[in-house]
Homo-oligomer: A and B are copies of this chain.
């Protein structure tokens, strides 16, 4: 008999004393969150709609009690009943018939409890969730500094303070054979110039058993490559090994196929009955972080410090230029986000030529379907552990939880070929966090990764030495534009950089009361939706009204304002992505901040408005991340008539192919008039090779329009054409 699942009918209520039952309960959606259950029962509008997150505040301070009745399960001899939960957020107890069977702190470690001897039909099963963790050190993200609870929930520049609680992963009872598969582990290496795969697997059974264990490795075409039938002679551990010559490797998109094998295991009893089976999709690749080109040659004067840290991803022996984005939570409540939310977002990411997402450490680690989709789409994943912008504790109690949670995370994600970087967390070695290489939390994470997944690179945090985070503005308080910031920078990797842009007019109308919509002002709905005062460094964030007005004057309507704001985001990000690419190979990554958002913001650095509405900037980024394109390096965005406009022409080219030489024609379009300025014949580009070309110069004419365009056309390759828009500053 294969395992059989029993779903439970849950209800939930709260109490200030966990020994006293809730006075009222409401139906609970599992997986989900207590806040959503309660709001539904109360008939409140969804919080994203009315923005009233304040009324959830009291929910942080109470105990939430989930309850369900154990259903009728015929527990014959040789069968066992398990309680299984993928995760409960955050500290909790499991009680059965009033007796506590399990206590846990941490939302990422699975729970499996053998209920066989304790559970009877009709018994009360309870999951008691404690008040949210609070370090007691202050308000905001610092509350999360002694827990492995995602810090973003405590409030961020794009996230309201709304801290989820409750059962957030699939949770059920399962009837199993006494003999079942407890764990399937595997390790592999790809050796001999990628020509040989050596795979070790080990299966742990629930008990020493007699019978038969079969395993097989199935290739991407469905053919069995290798496998064994092993007679069990009172064993609980079974090891297997196979070698595959010329394995089909997994490649990130743009570099090859996303080949996926599957590893299946089944256990049969002595009479031949199938007792249990499991299957694991697995992709094979090598991955390393290697020194950036030219970084060993960086010479410093005496006294010499160390060289910068390596930041170039090498997959299957090939250096990959990373183009990607920061993935933040797709929802305030990770429990409601699943494959349906992930898929359209990840398809958008893939469509704009990204090959990596950095899963930012402020948020929860995604569910399995996230990584399965990334495997299939060829999107590499940089996975931060869920630590961000805090000085996480060295206390043993915290380190114990971090050790268990990190181990669970690593084991769950290991084997997904897409997961290419482990990272301790976000911005931990910066002054606003205060952690250092001496912090035990980071040393512990390094140790766990080395023990469990030693061949996947580990970074202690981001940024590390040589890499950069920021800026996040089109134009900073000193008047410096993002173009200048990046053109002066020399970093091994740009792991966060952003330009904010407003949501669409339609989205804004859905978020903001009619009387607050235009003109935007601080306070009220705009501020609640992160349009003003979102980021403490910049009071204007994220609408940046003054910046828009600096270039285009006061807008007459919300439509006009949004148009200009979105133009700045799009042109800014094009300039930054392309500049990072021009700095290749010293630079190895361009990963913007950020891809998505957890609830609808009026303005934000994201390319996508919640839940999955692309801003125009996504189209701009898509242009700039094509494998091959004509590109222009322009010092600034705003020009006055009479000035000499300058643009340095480039061909940008990534990936393994070489391309033939061709001719780039540059045109400037002022109002309706397009002028041919320059033609440039470029020679063939080798794999991964950029080419710098001539600098065009053109005197900006008098004009009425507020913008003009630079258009680059490649003869016969319109898919390499590019277009840029600039501001013509009016006096």
**Residue ranges of A at the interface with B (Cβ–Cβ < 8 Å):** 288-289, 291, 296-297, 299, 301-307, 309-310, 429-431, 434, 436-438, 440, 443-444, 446-447, 450-451, 454, 457-461, 463-472, 476, 485-486, 489, 491, 494, 496-497
Contacts and interface: CB of A to CB of B under 8 A. Distances in A.
Nearest to A306: B429
Contacts of A288: 438
Contact of A447 (B429, B450, B486): B450
A497 B304 CA distance: 10
Given A297-B431, A434-B296, A303 B447 contact: no
Given A447-B450, A450-B440, A451-B447, A307 B431 contact: yes
B450 A437 contact: no
Contacts of A305: 463-468, 491
Contact of A306 (B304, B446, B461, B476): B461
Nearest to A465: B465
Given A296-B434, A297-B431, A310-B437, 12 more contacts: A291-B434, A291-B436, A302-B468, A303-B468, A303-B470, A303-B496, A305-B464, A310-B436, A438-B457, A438-B458, A443-B447, A444-B450
Nearest to A299: B431
A470 to B, nearest CB: 4
> Interface of chain A, helix or strand or loop or mixed?
loop
Contacts of A466: 305
A497 B450 CA distance: 34
A303 B469 contact: yes
B465 A306 contact: yes
Contact of A437 (B309, B470, B497): B309
Nearest to A301: B485
A306 B430 contact: yes
A497 B301 CA distance: 13
Contacts of A476: 302
B468 A443 contact: no
Contacts of A460: 437
B464 A437 contact: yes
A730 to B, nearest CB: 29
Contacts of A463: 303-306
Count chain B CB atoms within 10 A of each CB in A446, A466, A486, A489 and give the residue with the most: A446
Given A438-B457, A443-B446, A450-B444, A303 B465 contact: no
Contacts of A443: 446-447, 450, 454, 458
A198 to B, nearest CB: 12
A469 B300 CA distance: 11
Contacts of A471: 302-303
A470 B310 contact: no
Contacts of A309: 436-437
Contacts of A307: 429-431, 436
A310 B391 CA distance: 14
5 contacts: A291-B434, A302-B468, A310-B437, A437-B460, A446-B447
User: Which residue, A306, A446, A451, has most C-beta atoms of chain B within 10 A?
Assistant: A306
A485 B303 contact: yes
Nearest to A440: B454
A47 B350 CA distance: 68
Contact of A491 (B303, B310, B434, B486): B303
A438 B289 contact: yes
Contacts of A459: 437
A440 B496 CA distance: 27
Contacts of A437: 309-310, 459-460, 464
A351 to B, nearest CB: 27
Given A291-B436, A440-B454, A468 B430 contact: no
A470 B302 contact: yes
A245 to B, nearest CB: 22
A297 B296 CA distance: 28
A451 B399 CA distance: 13
Contacts of A310: 436-438
A271 to B, nearest CB: 42
A646 to B, nearest CB: 24
Contacts of A438: 288-289, 310, 457-458
